[in-house]
Amino acid sequence: MILALAHSFQPSTTAIAGSAIGTALVSLLPLVFFFVALGVFSLPTHWCALGALVVALIVATVGFDMPVATAGMSAIEGAAFGLIPIIYIVVMAVWLYNLTDRSGRAADVQAVFSAVGKGDMRIQGLLIGYAFCGLLEGLAGFGAPVAIACTMMWALGLPPIRAAIAVMVGNALNVGFGAMAIPVTTVAKLGGEDPALVGATMGRITPLMLIIVPFLMLFIMDGWRGVKDGWLAGVVAWFGMALGIGLTSNVLSYELTAVVGSLLSFAALAALLRFWTPTTPSEFRSPAATETLSTSRVALGLLPYWLVVIVFGVAKLWKLGVNVPALLASTDIKFVWPGLGDVLGINGQQNPSAVFSVPWLSSPGTMLFLTGVVVAIVYARNSSAGRFELPFAQGIRTLGTTIYNLRIAILTICLVMALAYVMNFSGQTVAIGAWLAGTGAAFAFLSPLLGWIGTAVTGSATSAGALFGNLQATAAQTADLPSRLLLGVNEIGGGIGKIVSPQNLAIAAGAVKSEGSESEILRKAAPYSIGLIILLGLITVLASNGILGFLIA
C-alpha cells in the first residue's frame, strides 16, 4: 500500500514561502529539537531521536510538500542503513572486545599498554585514542574505530565519560581520511576536483589543527595537571601524526594518510617512552603487574587488535596478484529502495541515497565478525593452562549477550539514521547548506560548517561530502574562492561534526557501557567541537585570502 502511494518528488531550497532563509530556518527545527531535548532536558537519546524524526516528517510533508508515503519510505531506508552497516559494525566491534573481557585476557591487555605507557593511563589514552584509533579509522571507519578504542580506553580504568569524549575528540581530524579516504574521493568527485589535490590540501591544514588535539585529550582525561604532566608526549604524538599526514597526502597516496600518520605517531610516542617517564598521580597509575607476562599471553591478549589491523589491511590494501578490495566490493548488493527511485535531488538527478547497498563481504562488520570467530576459536584452544577458559560456544553466545546489552543503542542509531534520511530526501539538509552558501565572501568562514552540519546529521563525513560537494564547488566559483580548499575543509569540518553526531554519541556511550549518558557526553564534548570548527573557519579564511595560501595544494 505504501509503495503504491509513493511517487516522484524533487525538493526545493525555497519550498517555504519562496524564501531560502525561511526554508533553512524551518529545516533546522528537527536538529534544534534533538539537541535541546538531549542537551538541555537530558531526555533519553532514543526519545530525542524519535521526537526529532516526527518533527522532520512534519516539516517534510507540510513544509516541503513531500508525499507522506515517500517520507515514510525514506525513514525506513534510513533505519535499515542504521542496521546495515552501522549497527552491524558497532555490535561486532563491541563483541570483539567482550571476547577479550569474558576470557579474562583484558587484564593482560591492560598490562601491555600499562608497560608501554609507563603505567600512566593518560599516556595510554594517547596511544589508544589518538594513534591506534586513527589507524583503525584510516583502515575501516564507519564507527568501528570509536567503538573499539572506547572499549579499550574504558578497560584501562579511565572514567567512561572521559574515555568516550577523549576518543571522539582524538579521532575527529582523522575522519576525513577514514576508510582509505573515501570521504576525500567522494567530495572531490562531486565537486569536480582532483581528489589528490583535495587530499593534499587537507593534509596541509590538518597538521595545524592537530597541534592542540593531544593536549585537549590530556585535559579531558585529567585537566591542566594532565597537560602539565604529559605535554612532551603530546608534542611527540602530534609531531609523528603531523609528519605522516603531511608527507603521505602530498607525496605518497592520500588514501593512506590516516594509516601512515597514526603509525608514525604510535612509533614516535613508543620511542619517547623508552627513555622518558611521566609524572603520574596515583589515581591515574595502572595497577602494577603482579607477574611477568609470557610472550604467548601478550600475543593472545592483543590478538583481537593486531588481527583487526591485519584483516583490514589485507581487505583494503592487498592488490598483489588478487585485487582484494575490488573482489570484496564486487559482492556488494545494490538496489533502488522501493518507493524512492523517483525522488530527485536539488540538481534534478536521482538522489544517490535511493540506492541501498548491502556490503556483506566488504563491510567492516563482516571483517570484525570473521576476526571475532577466529579469536573465539583461538581462545577456546589456548586457555593458558586453564587460566583463561572460554569455550567456543560461550564465545558465540557472548555475541547474543552483546546484542541484548546494546538494544537501546541499536534503537537510537536506527532512529537517528531515519531522521538523517528524511532530512536528506526532503531537502532540509541541502536547504540549510544553500542558505549558508549564499553568504558570499563570508562563506570562507562558514564553509567548514556545512561539513560539520552534514556529519552531525548523518554521522558520516562521506555523506556530508555527498550532500554538499557540489554546493561547495558552486559557492567557491560564485565567491571566487579555491574550490579544493572548500571541498577539503568540508571533510575536515565533517570529522569535527562527528564529535556531536547523535550516531557517534550512541556508539561511544554503548562502547563504554554507559547507555543513556549521551546527553552528558554531548554537553561535555560540544565545546571542543565548536571550538575546533571556529578554528578551522579562521584557518580557511586566512588560506583563502593568501595569508596562509601555502595550505592550498
Which has the higher per-residue pLDDT, 524 or 40?
Answer: 524
Beta pairing partners, 9? 343
Tell me the residue ranges of DSSP E strands in 331-452. Answer: 333-336, 355-358
> For residue 448, how many other CB atoms are within 10 A of its CB?
30
Asked whether residue 289 carries a pLDDT value surpassing 70, the answer given is no
pLDDT at 177: 93
254-287 burial: b if 16+ Cβ within 10 Å, else e: bbbbbbbbbbbbbebbeebbeeeebebeeebebe
Domain boundaries, the chain: 20-285+295-551
User: Over the stretch 188-200, which tens digit does the pLDDT of each residue have?
Assistant: 877 878 889 999 9
* φ and ψ of 193, to 5 deg: -115, 160
Beta pairing partners, 350? 344
> For residue 228, how many other CB atoms are within 10 A of its CB?
11
Cβ–Cβ < 8 Å for 493, 134: no
pLDDT band of residue 346 (cuts 50, 70, 90) is: low
pLDDT at 281: 93
Per-residue pLDDT, averaged over 242-255, amounts to: 91
Which has the higher per-residue pLDDT, 250 or 465?
Answer: 250
Length of the chain: 553
304-329 burial: b if 16+ Cβ within 10 Å, else e: bbebbbebbeebbeeeeeeebbeebe
HSE of 177, CA atoms in CB hemisphere, 13 A: 35
Cβ–Cβ < 8 Å for 34, 502: yes
- Which grid coordinates belong to 245? 599526514
pLDDT at 148: 84
Cβ–Cβ < 8 Å for 228, 247: no
* Entry pTM: 0.77
Q: In this predicted structure, which of 107-116, 377-386, 478-487 has the lowest mean pLDDT?
A: 107-116
User: Over the stretch 489-516, which tens digit does the pLDDT of each residue have?
Assistant: 999 999 999 999 988 898 899 888 887 8
d(CA 127, CA 105): 19
d(CA 487, CA 54): 32
